[in-house]
Structures are given as structure tokens and as C-alpha cells.
Structure 1
Amino acid sequence: MSTATKTRRGRKTYAIALSLILCGCNAPSFTNSGVTWKTYTNSRYGFEFLYPSTWTSLPPPENNDGIAFVSPQNTRVEIRGWAGNRLPDTIITDKNAKKTINPNFKTNQGVSGVLEVEVGSQESSMTLTLTKAQVKYYWQGRSPASEFSNYYRVFYYIAQEYRISGQGG
């Protein structure tokens, strides 16, 4: 593949990602769309998120740090949430090795975090990362790249509704 082709493909992927992000800024409310929602609550870390009631949960990990749900139409479409204790900064010896991204998203609860959208050739995802006290919270929606535009607004809505209910840990 030529460099020009790679550059065009990279620009196309960037353009698709940008258009998806901009569409998500005006994501409609799904409360009146006929979707019935359930709430997953994690008692270990004190977080919760909505998921469509028709989706099936995968077996949770033994440590109870989160869960994943899959779509009944396509098991390659999933949403998952998990959390983990964050290492104190004093333990991290190489401060330059730490990747920092400024918050670019706020949940409806008012918690700031980072929302990243990755558009790949095979799979695409939306990942929300929040930090409160010494706990790092994650939520992710992912699907085959060819279907990501069908799920983007649902993923965005769920990320907006993500809640931290306690200190966790």
C-alpha cells in the first residue's frame, strides 16, 4: 500500500470519527424511544450504568470488579463497566511515563472524565474513564466498525448516565 493511500485512509478514518463525535454532541434522550432500560449496580466499587433490558450479561469476573452485556442481535456488540483501585502518585516512580489526558466529558451526575472514541477497520469503541478518590472507573461500548454508527448514540447516552454512587474499593 502506498503512503498516499495510507494517508487518505487515515484521513477518512479521522473524518468518520470526527463526524461521529459531533453527532454524539446532540445525542437524543433515549428515555422515550421505546427502549426499556435496566441498571447494573456494582456493590464493590459503587458505580452503576444503564443497559438495554434485552441485552444478556456475560459471566462476571470472580473479583466482582465489573460486568459485560451483549446485544441479542449481535454478540460482537457489547457494553461493559469495571473499576479498579488506582495506585497513589507517590508509588509511581517515573512521572514522565504517565499518560495524562485532560477531561473532555462530564456525566449528567457532574463527574468529569475522558471519553475516547476509537474507529478501527474491524472494531470501534467508545471508552469513558473517570477517577474519584483512589478508584478508576471505566465504561466501554464496542461493536464491529461497520455497525458502530448504529450504536454510537446509545453508547453516548449510557456514558452520560453513568453514575458513581459511593467511594468504592
Structure 2
Amino acid sequence: MATANKNCSLGRRIYRFAASVSGIIALLIILWGCTANNFNAGAIAWKTYTNSRYGFEFPYPSNWTSSTAPTNDDGIAFTSPQNKTVEIRGWASQQLPDSIVTEQKSVKKIKPNFKTAQGVPGVLVVEVAQGIGSMTLTLTQSQVKYSWQGRSNSQEFQDYYRLFYYIAQQYRISKS
């Protein structure tokens, strides 16, 4: 009976070890996929979109096509010339003062997990679903919510991850 318990215990430890190794390998494969391509920002000709209404800017590849800006001038979108499903967009909106906003206990505030090269803290969320992959940056400053997003279909998201990340890092807010 003691031998059976030892074998069972050994089997559980081997199973746990294999499960841990499998999890680590899966994580490494995911991370490798996000950094697999060699991204060189210096090899890209850049332009800068500047929003005069809200005072933000971000770089975009000079050969990307801009959409028609909305009449309220809250932002813009750019589309890749090689693949119309790949786009980057930036926009902003006024936030109500905290004293006017009703308390919502069900909504958790997400702590900043990202800083732009300018040093502005924000929240960067990467989502890869069955059809669409996206990277969304949200910054809040002086009652203005600034947003930037890069999107592609999920199968190609790893090809654009480093481009999107670079642009998110370069996002700037004018000093008021």
C-alpha cells in the first residue's frame, strides 16, 4: 500500500511539473509571436498627426491613408496601404468632473500599466480575439480622455504588434 501511495504521489508531481512546463512553453510561444518580426522604426518614413482641438499627436507611417476627419475634430484613423483591415486611430473626449459623475461600484478603475516616452502614465490593453487583434492606449489628463488604438485581423496581429507598441510609446499630449 505504501508503494502505491508513493507511485501516486510521484505521478501527481510529474503531472504538475509537466503542466507547469507546458504553461511556460505556451507563454513563451505567445511572447515570441508578438516580437518575432524585426521592427525598425528608423526604416519607416513617418508623419505626425496633430489634433488641434485636444492637443495630442502621434506618428504614423507616411504611406498610410487617412480617413475623413469628423467635423467635431475629435480624432482620425489611418489605414495601411498593404492591408485595409489594418488601422491606427486616435481620438479624445471631454470627461465630466468627478463630482458630477455618479459613483459606479461595479466598475473597477484600472491602474496605469504603461508610460509614453513623454512620461504620461496610461493603460495599455492588448486583446486578440478570434477575428480582431487590438492594442488600445487610454490616457486621462485634465478632464480629457485620450485614446489611441491599433487594430488588425487576429492572424496578422503579431506582425503589427511592435509597430503599434512603438506608436503608443510616441503618443504625446501638449503641455497646457
Normalising by structure 1, we get a TM-score of: 0.81
Matched to 1:164, the amino acid is I
- 1:88 corresponds to: 97
Alignment map for 1:93-108 (pairs within 5 Å)? 93-108=102-117
Shift of residue 29, structure 1, vs aligned partner: 7.0
Cα distance in structure 2, aligned partners of 1:136 and 1:17: 34
86-95 or 74-83, which deviates more = 86-95
Tell me whether 1:144 sits opposite 2:156 in the alignment: no
Cα distance in structure 1, aligned partners of 2:52 and 2:40: 26
Matched residue SS, 1:95: coil
Whose helix fraction is larger, Structure 1's or Structure 2's?
A: 2
Name the CA shift for 1:61/1:99 in 2 (closer, same or farther; >3 Å): farther
Which structure would you say has the larger RCO, counting Cα contacts within 8 Å and 6 or more residues apart?
1
Shift of residue 31, structure 1, vs aligned partner: 3.5
How many pairs were matched up?
152
Gaps of 5+ in 2: 1-22
Alignment map for 1:1-169 (pairs within 5 Å)? 15=27, 19=31, 23=35, 30-32=40-42, 34-167=43-176
Across the aligned residues of Structure 1 and Structure 2, the Cα RMSD in angstroms comes to 2.5
Shift of residue 74, structure 1, vs aligned partner: 0.9
Normalising by structure 2, we get a TM-score of: 0.78
Shift of residue 95, structure 1, vs aligned partner: 3.2
Name the CA shift for 1:22/1:75 in 2 (closer, same or farther; >3 Å): closer
Superposed CA deviations along residues 104-146 of structure 1, whole A, max 9, x for unmatched, are: 0000000000000000110010000001111000000000001
Name the CA shift for 1:20/1:46 in 2 (closer, same or farther; >3 Å): farther
Identical residues among aligned pairs (%): 59
Shift of residue 93, structure 1, vs aligned partner: 1.7
Name the CA shift for 1:20/1:137 in 2 (closer, same or farther; >3 Å): farther
Matched to 2:121, the amino acid is S
Q: Is the 8 A contact 1:30 1:157 kept in 2?
A: no
